[in-house]
Amino acid sequence: MDALAAYKAADLTQIRIRASAGSDISSEIAYSWFKHMLRTSEAILTLADADFDTEIAPLRRSLMEHCTAMFWLTRSPEKTVNSLFKAYQQTLRKIEMATAGKWDINYDLLRAMVEAEMPPNDENNLLSFKALTDAEEAQATYAAWLQETAFSHAGWSTGRLYVKHDGTRLQLPDSDVRDSYRVTAMYLLFAADRLIDYWENPPILLQQSHPALITRLFPGH
């Protein structure tokens, strides 16, 4: 994909953050999320070319989550960082309970992270993807995310993928209706667009790739 190559070629490490964009931590998160999206996209396209389009539903779902969260981060960086750290504390608490007395873990460090105080934040609810897509008016993304979720867990959708309707023979699924190339390019485009607003000096490659990519994604528009 041309856009993926352009994004990968851009020297993102040289980008400066706007003074109003937020803390160094939020800029680190923005960079890391976009880098993660690039690597995830590369994995999606590699597996799609090998006819694993249905099996990469969890990766497409991750792409949707990171793209939508990028809108939150660039709109409200300090509150996003606050909420992300609180969610991380919750994960650490669960790890602590699950591994107590069984794993060789630095529990003093773990406890210090869990007990770190964070200021009140009225956007913690946006850690829920439903709440986040509502806040960003991205209900279509939420609907697509629900479909990908159905193919990401053990359930009815995955339980009927490879079986004939009469239940007598196994078969590979027919060609999947999803277009991994279009989905991947679309969410990279959205995320890169947010970073152009967020960064003071976006690489020219990011800006130049947008018109051509939009034309390829949405012919006639």
pLDDT tens-digit map of 59-98: 999 999 999 999 999 889 889 999 999 898 888 888 877 7
CA distance to 31, 39, 49, 130, 200, per residue, from 206 (Å): 14, 16, 25, 29, 13
Report the 10 Å Cβ neighbour count for 44.
25
Partners of residue 170 on adjacent β-strands: 163
For the chain, domain boundaries: 2-76+123-217
* Residue 199: DSSP 8-state: B
The pLDDT-based confidence of 177 (bands split at 50, 70, 90) is very low
Report pLDDT digits (tens) over 117-171.
777 888 988 989 999 999 999 888 898 899 899 889 888 887 777 765 555 555 5
Q: How far is 208 from 89, CA to CA, in rounded Å?
A: 40
